[in-house]
Amino acid sequence: PEIHFGSTSYGMHIHKSSPNTLAAFINICVLWLVKVCLMLTRTHKGLYRSIARTLKFFQTFALLEVRIESTSVIVTGVQVCSRIFMVWFVTNSIRQIQNEESVILFLVVWTMTEITRYSYYTFNLLHHLPYFIKWARYNLFIVLYPLGVAGELLTIYAALPFVRRSGMYSMRLPNKYNVSFDYYYCLIVFMLSYIPLFPQLFFHMLRQRRRVLHGEVIVEKDD
Ligand X SMILES: CCCCCCCCCCCCC[C@@H](O)CC(=O)SCCNC(=O)CCNC(=O)[C@H](O)C(C)(C)COP(=O)(O)OP(=O)(O)OC[C@H]1O[C@@H](n2cnc3c(N)ncnc32)[C@H](O)[C@@H]1OP(=O)(O)O
The residue range among 24-32, 71-79, 127-135, 167-175 that interacts with ligand X, by the rule CB under 6 A, is 71-79
Q: How far apart are CA 116 and CA 118, in angstroms?
A: 6
Give the whole-angstrom CA distance, residue 123 versus residue 130: 7
Q: What share of the chain is helix, strand, coil (3-state, %, to 5)?
A: 75, 5, 25
- Alpha-carbon separation of residue 7 from 13, 71, 111, 122, 126 (angstroms): 13, 28, 36, 20, 14
**Would you say 27 or 79 has its CB closer to ligand X?**
79
CB of 65 to ligand X, least distance (A): 5
| Count of residues of this chain found to bind ligand X when the rule CB under 6 A is applied | 33
The CB-of-48 to ligand X minimum distance in angstroms stands at 16
Q: For residues 110 and 104, is the Cβ–Cβ distance under 8 A?
A: no
Q: Any contact of residue 113 with ligand X (CB under 6 A)?
A: yes
Check binding of 76 to ligand X (CB under 6 A). Answer: yes
Q: With the C-alpha atoms ordered 196, 199, 201, 207, is the resulting torsion angle positive or negative? A: negative
Residues 192-211 that bind ligand X (CB under 6 A): 193-194, 197-198, 201, 204-205, 208
Q: Is the peptide bond before 146 cis (omega within 30 degrees of 0)?
A: no
Among 105, 125, 133, 156, binds ligand X (CB under 6 A): 125
User: Applying CB under 6 A, does 13 fall inside the site for ligand X?
Assistant: no
Among 65, 153, 157, 168, binds ligand X (CB under 6 A): 65
What's the min distance (Å) between Cβ of 178 and ligand X?
25
What part of residues 14-33 is at the interface with ligand X (CB under 6 A)? 20
Cα-based torsion angle of the residue sequence 21, 26, 30, 32 in order, rounded to the nearest 10 degrees: 60
Where helices occur in 85-168 by DSSP H, the ranges are 101-125, 131-137, 141-166
Identify whether the C-beta of residue 71 lies closer than 8 Å to the C-beta of residue 208: yes
End-to-end C-alpha distance for the chain, whole angstroms: 36
Minimum distance from residue 175 beta carbon to ligand X (Å): 24
Q: Among 149, 150, 153, 206, indicate the residue that binds ligand X (CB under 6 A).
A: 149
Residue positions annotated with a catalytic role: 145, 152
Candidate residues 27, 58, 148, 184; the one interacting with ligand X per rule CB under 6 A: 148
Q: Does 81 engage in binding with ligand X (CB under 6 A)?
A: yes
Q: Indicate the length of the chain as a whole number.
A: 223
Question: Using CB under 6 A as the criterion, which residues of the chain lie in contact with ligand X when the complex forms?
Answer: 20, 65, 70-72, 75-76, 78-79, 81-83, 85, 109-110, 113, 117, 121, 124-125, 141, 144-145, 148-149, 193-194, 197-198, 201, 204-205, 208
